[in-house]
Homo-oligomer: A and B are copies of this chain.
Amino acid sequence: MEYSNGPVCIKDLERIASKVMPSGAWGYYDSGANDEQTKLDNMTAFDKYRLHPRMLRDVSNISTATTILGQPVPTPLGVAPCAMHKLAHADGELATSRAASQHGGVMILSTYSTTSLEKVIAQGNSNMQYWMQLYVYKERSVSEQIVRRAERAGFKALVLTVDAPALGRRLVDARNKFNPPAHLHLENFIDPEIVNNPDGYGADLSKSASETFGATFGANGDQSLSWENGIAWLKSITKLPIIVKGILTAEDTRLAIKYGCAGVIVSNHGGRQLDGTLASIDALPQVVEAAGDKIEVYMDGGIRKGTDIFKALALGARAVFVARPVLWGLAYNGEAGAKHALDLLQSELELTMMLSGTRTIGEIDDSYILEPESRWVQS
C-alpha cells in the first residue's frame, strides 16, 4: 500500500495554500463573484454525474495520450491561464512552466502573467504546447504587439477570453481592497512598443502590476468587442488558431464556428465573473452537441480529481484545464508543488481509467457516465 508522499489530494493543497498565502492574495485566488454560487457549483456539479464502469478488461497498459489541435500530447490535462503566479511563489510562471513541461500537455499563459511570455515558453519541450491568452484593448495595436510576440516566441494558439468585458464583482477583494504587492510587474507590458503607446497602457519596471492592470483591463479594455470586430480582426492579423474562452451556450458555439475559431473553452472563469451561470460541466454537453466535429471543445472550472477529468472527457471535452489547483501547488512548494498538483490529477485520471475499464482517451465516451434524468431547460 504505497502512496506518493506529501499532500494526498488537491484539497490538501488548497488547505495548505490558504494557510501559507497572505490573506489578500489568497482571497484574490480563491474568490468567485458575488455569492459564489457558480464557483462552488463548478465543483459540486460533478457529483451529479456518476461513473458506469466496465470490468474484466485488460488494463495492464493504459495511455492518456491524445491530440490537441492536431498535435499529439501525452495528456488531456492542461494549465488554465491565471494572472500573476508570483502571488503564490517568487518563481511564478517560470516554476509553473517547468512543472507543466515535465508533465506535458498544454499550458495557457495569461496576458497578465508576472513573467514575460518569452521567458515562460523557454521552459518548454516537445511534449508541450503553449497557448497565449489575450484580452483586446481599445488601442488594438497593444493587443497586436502581444500577438506578434507570441507568434515569434512559438505559441501555438491564441486564447481570447470573452467573459470579461468588465471585471466580476468579487466581494472578498472588495472587502480586502486587494491590490497586488508593488514589486510585482505584469511583464508582458514591459515592452518598448507598448510603453510608448500614448494612452499609457504600457508598464516599465517602475509600474506595479496593479497600475498596469488598471490602465489596461480597467480603463482601456474594449467593451465594444464583438464577433464581427473581434474575431474577424484577430484572424486578419494572425495565422494562429483562435480559441474562444468563456463560452457557455450552444448559440455562441455556433457563432464560434461561423467566425472560424479553432476551438472553444467552456468556462465561467472559475465563477469569478457572472455568478449564477451553470457549472462548466453542466454547460459542456450542449456546447459539445453544437460543436459536432467542426471545432474542438475544451473546458475548465472545478476540476479537482481524476474522476472530474474523466467525466468531462466522457461528456465530450477534448481537454481540460485547471487553474487554482496549480496555483495552490505553487503556493505550497513552487515548481515541485505545481508538479505535485499535476501528478495527483494525472495519476488519479489513470487510476480512474483502470477502474472503469477504459484504456485510451478515445475510448472514454458517454457510455461510461450516468446522469440524473432532469436537465436544465430553456423555456
Contacts and interface: CB of A to CB of B under 8 A. Distances in A.
A257 interface: no
Interface string A113-136: 000000000000000000000000
Given A171-B9, A230-B56, A354 B248 contact: no
A167 interface: yes
A34 interface: yes
A178 B373 contact: no
A101 interface: no
B376 A55 contact: no
A351 interface: yes
A354 B305 contact: no
A370 to B, nearest CB: 4
Nearest to A213: B1
A199 interface: no
Nearest to A177: B3
A224 interface: yes
A168 interface: yes
A54 B252 contact: yes
A165 B355 contact: yes
A136 B274 CA distance: 44
Contacts of A273: 355
A1 B372 CA distance: 40
A60 interface: yes
Contact of A52 (B175, B224, B249, B275): B249
Given A57-B226, A165-B355, A372 B378 contact: no
Contact of A379 (B53, B174, B277, B371): B371
Nearest to A48: B376
Contacts of A57: 226
Interface residues of A, number: 86
A258 to B, nearest CB: 12
A231 interface: yes
A249 B52 CA distance: 7
Nearest to A227: B56
Nearest to A180: B1
A343 interface: no
B371 A367 contact: no
A370 B278 contact: yes
A139 interface: no
Given A52-B248, A59-B166, A274-B356, 15 more contacts: A1-B179, A2-B218, A50-B376, A52-B378, A53-B163, A54-B251, A56-B255, A59-B223, A166-B354, A166-B355, A169-B351, A273-B355, A274-B352, A276-B307, A285-B379
19 contacts: A1-B218, A3-B177, A9-B171, A34-B348, A51-B274, A51-B277, A53-B274, A55-B246, A56-B244, A56-B255, A58-B223, A58-B224, A58-B226, A275-B307, A276-B307, A285-B379, A366-B378, A369-B378, A373-B376
